[in-house]
Structure 1
Amino acid sequence: MIIKWDREGRSGDRDTAQAEQTCKRAAQYVRMSTEHQQYSTDNQAEALAKYAEARGYVIVKTYADDGKSGLNIAGRGALQLLLQDIQSGAADFEAVLVYDVSRWGRFQDPDEAASYELSCRRAGVVVHYCAEQFENDGSIGSSIIKTVKRAMAGEYSRELSVKVFAGQANLIRLGFRQGGQAGFGLRRVLVNQDGERKGELGAGEHKSIQTDRVLLEPGPESEQAIVREIFSRFVAGETENEIASDLNRRDVRSEGDRNWNRAIIHHMLINEKYVGHNVWGRTSFKLKQAHRQISPDEWIRCDNAFSPVIEQSKFNAAKAIIEARSASWSDDAMLDQLRVILAGNGSLTGLIIDEYDDSPSSGCYRSRFGSLLRAYALVGFKPDHDYRYIQINRSLNAMYPQILESCMTGLRRRGNRVDENDAESILTLNNQVRLSVSIARCMQTGAGSLRWKLRLDNRAAVDLTLLIRMDAANVQALDYYVIPKIAIADAILTLCEHNGLGLDAYRRKTLDLCFDIFRRAALRKAA
């Protein structure tokens, strides 16, 4: 009897209870980004159903991430819930079915994908990649293929990122708009591939045909008049706050039916779209790794791409005032002003800085000091960040002498002569083997996986390294690695929760098991 299960794990057969008793229970994880239509979640679910039927599984639950990138775990609520259910013991299944390695994720660090699979396996749940040509059985062959597949999945995203960026940059140079709201006094217009106007796009509306393009054009005359008024009043000597207060008093609404404030006015005064220039790529968030500011000479632009709302001379005059306002400030004066802003608000952000009249903008601070974070540090402000590692390092440093003494005692009990080189913290065994003892602090990535980093001292020619990995709380040892020099090619070795046979073969659960490696044995005298 063939039992068909829908994507929620429900059976249409009346013998459901009997089937669940005789079949192995499994969950399925499906994910679709926007890169390949053939990888729709429905198609994946169909392939997984066939795999389950052939292997004697019954799919009892579905976790689906529709339209989610596989670059990281952030935003993938279904995968997060799946891992949470497994790790908490709430999962009522023994396997997870996934279409292929790339559906699990296109992580830029292959170890991240491995760490999530390891957490499943440790909880007794096996991950099956149903469309792959290898069995995920833990063999050396499957481990090698799986690692290569993970690296290929990440590389695909990197190559796609380069191609997409090049395509977007080309469209910007042709004068087309790439994402974002139009802004007060402007409107987004949809045109076809021949440049013919098709209509205006409202707030939240997007094009539906791939070959269509978006341009900017001036909005209603009433809004254009407000934009021209803002620039004229600013050039005449009024501040952003004064202009915003007057517009609010007159009940003039900003974009999105909001009140005006200094930041909105300021960003309008420095935005070149009001003079018809199409500028893109001021910041970068490639592969969802890290936001960074791009130098102005690297921005992608097309001047005179669409009809201006104000004349270039008026924009240049406003720009000159803003630049002169910051140029007249010395570094010390800017930092003093930043301290005043910090004292008045209790914290600092770009928006808070931009709200202050007669003060350099957040952009000026970035330009002058390289980044806002460096400016914050110079005035003693620390943004929300986890600095507990400083205290953890102090605790581990205090713990180190006791651990080193325990190692020396344990080695001596195995019949070894142990000498300590105080200058290098190296133990010499029997005048032959040099052993380094290191403690690795546990770190948690943004995705929640664990990492340990070992920094090797190239000046110390050691034969073996005894690495002590701390637990997630950095309170007690998790496990131990006795690693020969030949197995470590780099000066910095990063370990994840599961590292493959190449490194985990050197892992021991207790310190005594490590010491047993060094137990001396008497040899019989040859006849």
Structure 2
Amino acid sequence: MSWPDDDREKDISRKAAQYVRMSTEHQRYSAENQADAIQRYADERGYQIIKTYSDAGKSGLRIQGRAGLTQLIEDIEGGRADFRTVLVYDVSRWGRFQDADESAYYEYACKRAGISVEYCAEQFENDGSTMSTVVKGLKRAMAGEYSRELSQKVFAGQSRLIELGYRQGGAPGFGLRRMLIDEAGNAKGILARGEHKSIQTDRITLVPGPDDEIAVVNQIFQSFVHDGQAEAEIAADLNARGIKTDLGRSWTPTVVRQILTNEKYIGNNIWNRNSFKLKKRHVRNDPSNWVRAVGAFEAIVSTDLFEAAGAIIGARSQRMSDDEMLEGLKEALEQHGFLSGFVINEAAGLPSSGAYQSRFGSLLRAYSLVGFKPERDYRYIEINKRLRGVHADIIRDTISGVEAVGGLADRDLQTDIITIDNEFTVSIVIARCMQTSAGAFRWNIRLDTGHLPDLTIVVRMGQMNELPLDYYLLPTFDMTQSKLRLSENNGLSLDAFRFDDLSHFFAKAARAPLLEVA
């Protein structure tokens, strides 16, 4: 006769959870193929799969953004796991971490809690033997090396496209237009704002825009170089004449400076100013590492005029000593009562905010040197800075997830609105977690009422604002307010749209064969 506790332990010992991760690298790793292989393995070994943790369309380079793996580890370490085994397709699905020890750490976290990890498609038993330990170490290193090699190949491919004169995204800029060309180099037509290529082999290059815009661009350079006008004066003149930027906005000194310093106006294609390789931190690359194709486009400004403008801008900060730059910053502080990147860029006679960052290491250090201590909590700024990266990651992962299930996703680079299968539009909103004085957590959400997407994906961040907590899929026609304030529990009217991950959204975005639809 067995005791009830013994029966329960015997029952739970055969219960398992499965973890599946799918990037976009190969159909072999589709969620369905992984699940099928894991189910066959479970049937053969007598396991009952009771829970699935999934990261659809996720890179394995880091754990950030992988809600499935994060939740798995939290459930296990928090004692909430009602299973004793985690089934994974192979070692690479656990992660392609650049540090092989990181992958080993997460497996160790499971084992430390009494949860074993079994790899269903590997040719070895993960039994803790010397052989399995050696093979796992090799496999983890190979998984990381695969990502490094793929990164190098992608970088080489993108560099080659830049050298051939193809544009790698971004608005063309005032005075320029995007031309769609086919794989043979034949022009197919000008792309309007918000339009994108639909055929993978098509490319985009830049061509001169309307004559009146080209004339304005040249006038900007002439006024700056020959007439000695500052960016603020040029912007004021353009606004007084009713001329709008390419985005339909008023001119500012910053926008004028962007035209004066962008080499695309002399026909050069520049890429790799900043990089984010292998999900590591963003870095601003030295100009010697930029990928530059000279004469890739038809120039609309003479090289001599462009170089003269660059010399003036460069000398502006080079001729100023540290003390002179700080003195100018003090004067701006006295004039406005506060400092910001915008104030610096708009101030006549001051170098750009980028020059201050370069000279003093950061704007915060420059501020401190002139005795300015912002009232704003810079933790808020750092969080917002990190959330901008999360927003970019979510957009990229959403597009990858849609494409992974056979759907089409087209992103408008100006609005970040994503069109799915040419049928509906999606906006992505990141909701920062804030804590009230009473200790409760709240999320403020502002829906996009300007472009009226069909669906808004609200990514609610966790308490530390590092990882997504959950997702709300909010249909626009069901939302009666443009601003929402979410608490931890929001009732059925809102929580009916809440999901732990985006697998439900990806399922809706998947394309089905015609016979299946019929």
1:285 is matched with 276
2:302 is matched with 311
2:88 is matched with 98
How far does the alpha carbon of each residue in 1:196-250 deviate from its partner, in whole angstroms, 9 at most, with x for none? 1233445555544443322111234454344334333333233223333454566
Report the CA distance shift for 1:447/1:367 in structure 2 as closer, same or farther (over 3 A). closer
1:328 is matched with 319
- Answer yes or no: is the 8 Å Cα contact 2:13–2:83 preserved in 1: no
Report the CA distance shift for 1:187/1:135 in structure 2 as closer, same or farther (over 3 A). farther
2:138 is matched with 148
Report the CA distance shift for 1:159/1:380 in structure 2 as closer, same or farther (over 3 A). farther
- How much has 1:130 moved relative to structure 2? 1.8
- Percent identity of paired positions between Structure 1 and Structure 2: 57
Indicate yes or no: 2:45 matched with 1:55.
yes
- How much has 1:99 moved relative to structure 2? 1.8
Report the CA distance shift for 1:294/1:47 in structure 2 as closer, same or farther (over 3 A). same
How far does the alpha carbon of each residue in 1:93-119 deviate from its partner, in whole angstroms, 9 at most, with x for none? 443332222222111111222222233
- How much has 1:89 moved relative to structure 2? 4.1
Q: Give the distance between the partners of 2:98 and 2:466, measured in 1 at CA.
A: 12
Report the CA distance shift for 1:22/1:128 in structure 2 as closer, same or farther (over 3 A). closer
Match of 1:261 among 252, 256, 277: 252
Match of 2:185 among 186, 195, 198: 195
* Structure exhibiting the larger radius of gyration computed from Cα positions: 1
Report the CA distance shift for 1:122/1:164 in structure 2 as closer, same or farther (over 3 A). same
- How much has 1:73 moved relative to structure 2? 1.9
Q: Give the distance between the partners of 1:376 and 1:113, measured in 2 at CA.
A: 41
Indicate yes or no: 2:69 matched with 1:79.
yes
- Answer yes or no: is the 8 Å Cα contact 2:16–2:85 preserved in 1: yes
2:395 is matched with none
After superposition, residues 96-495 of structure 1 pair within 5 angstroms as: 96-203=86-193, 205-235=195-225, 236-248=227-239, 252-338=243-329, 353-365=344-356, 368=359
- Answer yes or no: is the 8 Å Cα contact 2:245–2:251 preserved in 1: yes
2:508 is matched with none
Task: Structure 2 unaligned segments of length 5 or more: list them.
Answer: 1-10, 381-464, 468-518
- Highest relative contact order (Cα 8 Å, sep 6+), 1 or 2? 2
1:455 is matched with none
Q: Give the distance between the partners of 1:352 and 1:160, measured in 2 at CA.
A: 42
- How much has 1:139 moved relative to structure 2? 3.0
Q: Give the distance between the partners of 2:337 and 2:51, measured in 1 at CA.
A: 49
Q: Give the distance between the partners of 1:148 and 1:157, measured in 2 at CA.
A: 15
How far does the alpha carbon of each residue in 1:475-500 deviate from its partner, in whole angstroms, 9 at most, with x for none? xxxxxxxxxxxxxxxxxxxxxxxxxx
Q: Give the distance between the partners of 1:213 and 1:56, measured in 2 at CA.
A: 52
Q: 3-state SS of the aligned residue for 1:360? A: coil
Q: Give the distance between the partners of 2:19 and 2:216, measured in 1 at CA.
A: 52
- How much has 1:359 moved relative to structure 2? 1.0
- Answer yes or no: is the 8 Å Cα contact 1:23–1:58 preserved in 2: no
Report the CA distance shift for 1:45/1:225 in structure 2 as closer, same or farther (over 3 A). farther
Cα RMSD over matched residues?
Answer: 3.6
Q: Give the distance between the partners of 2:337 and 2:75, measured in 1 at CA.
A: 41
Q: Give the distance between the partners of 1:70 and 1:22, measured in 2 at CA.
A: 30
2:457 is matched with none
AA in 2 matched with 1:324:
A
Report the CA distance shift for 1:86/1:365 in structure 2 as closer, same or farther (over 3 A). same
Report the CA distance shift for 1:295/1:90 in structure 2 as closer, same or farther (over 3 A). same
- Answer yes or no: is the 8 Å Cα contact 2:339–2:372 preserved in 1: yes
- How much has 1:60 moved relative to structure 2? 3.5
AA in 2 matched with 1:129:
Y
Name whichever of 170-179 and 100-109 sits farther off. 170-179
- Answer yes or no: is the 8 Å Cα contact 1:23–1:56 preserved in 2: no
Q: Give the distance between the partners of 1:267 and 1:81, measured in 2 at CA.
A: 44
Report the CA distance shift for 1:208/1:141 in structure 2 as closer, same or farther (over 3 A). farther
Q: Give the distance between the partners of 2:337 and 2:103, measured in 1 at CA.
A: 42
Match of 1:46 among 36, 43, 55: 36
TM-score (norm. length: structure 1): 0.61
- How much has 1:128 moved relative to structure 2? 2.6
1:421 is matched with none
- Answer yes or no: is the 8 Å Cα contact 2:339–2:367 preserved in 1: no
User: Size of the alignment, in residue pairs?
Assistant: 369
AA in 2 matched with 1:298:
N
- Answer yes or no: is the 8 Å Cα contact 1:280–1:300 preserved in 2: yes
TM-score (norm. length: structure 2): 0.62
Report the CA distance shift for 1:328/1:67 in structure 2 as closer, same or farther (over 3 A). same
Task: Structure 1 unaligned segments of length 5 or more: list them.
Answer: 1-20, 387-445, 449-527
- How much has 1:364 moved relative to structure 2? 3.2
Report the CA distance shift for 1:173/1:91 in structure 2 as closer, same or farther (over 3 A). same
How far does the alpha carbon of each residue in 1:456-480 deviate from its partner, in whole angstroms, 9 at most, with x for none? xxxxxxxxxxxxxxxxxxxxxxxxx
AA in 2 matched with 1:112:
E
Q: Give the distance between the partners of 1:341 and 1:56, measured in 2 at CA.
A: 73
